[in-house]
Amino acid sequence: MSFGSLEQLVDRLVSTVGEDLPLWIESVSIGGSYARDEHDEHSDLDLFFVIAPGSDVTVHHAADTLFDWVGDVVLRRGPVFVPHFGYSITAVLADLAVCQMNVNTRETIELNPMRSASRIILDRDGFMTSLADRSKSLTIDLAKVYQEHYSYFWIRALYASRSAERGELWRAIEYLADMRKAMQQVMRIQHGRYSPVVGPYHPAKRYEEQLGPDIARILEFSLPEYSKQSVLQCILESVEWFSRATRDTAGFPIEPDARDSAEMIERAVRGGA
């Protein structure tokens, strides 16, 4: 499957430096795999737009303009507000390539470590360049991040187990996927590979490169059949691994209350499985 339309969009941005975009668009940057030059035929294109100060352009007008600018859009979604990122606009093109666009004003855009890796294409007044530079200096408290993902895992484990017990297997698998996201981040932190710029959603092959194939395989689902018992068993195996992996937390201490709650949840999951 060809995704040449995304390459064409990037080429247009770079070659015209925004000449075919309206003046109320103050800045444009590329994020994600295209910014890191790590994209493949399955990647989408992440674009970030900032509306110029004093403009009376609404987000809905901005969305219509951007859909027209992208071109041959066969499916569209948005604008939908996403916390910390702004208004999200998604365009599916004729070759099924996906262009994900985020629209902000200077007031709604936030400092974010992920912005430090942005590839800035257009910056009429230097605002986006300054924002990216300031994002690079943000200090990440790894102990806090570890604690957050620890708690998130166990909350999702509780939801997954209860959903499976109800027979809502599709919802249980959704929560199980959230558990794997927390596992990914814990793995990164434990192996000194955590980077907020990379984010939690990289393909598994990147984890094979970073952490080795044995650890990466832990993140793969193992559901021999679509049944309550199979889903519960998969949840249990994830819980058992996570419990072992986070038992020795000398470098990243877990609050006693969180540890006690995790043990209660683990017992509950064991009872259900």
* Residue 122, strand partner residues: 28
What counts of helices (H) and strands (E) characterise the chain?
10, 6
> Model pTM?
0.78
The residues near 200 (Cβ < 8 Å, ≥ 6 apart) are 181, 184, 185
Distance CA 89, CA 105 (A): 15
User: Which residues neighbour 153 within 8 Å (Cβ) at sequence distance 6 or greater?
Assistant: 179, 182, 183, 186, 242
Span between the terminal Cα atoms of the chain, in Å: 42
Local confidence pLDDT in tens for the 273 residues of the chain? 345 888 888 888 888 887 888 889 999 999 888 888 888 888 899 999 999 998 889 889 999 999 999 988 999 998 999 887 889 999 999 989 999 999 998 888 888 777 777 889 999 999 988 988 888 777 778 888 899 999 999 999 999 999 999 999 999 999 999 999 899 888 888 888 777 665 545 555 666 777 777 777 777 777 778 889 999 999 999 999 999 989 877 678 888 899 899 999 999 998 876
CATH numbers and ranges of domains, the chain: 4-136 (3.30.460.10), 142-272 (1.20.120)
At what angle are helices 169-190 and 142-166 packed, to 10 degrees?
A: 160
Integer Cα distance of 153 and 150 in angstroms? 5
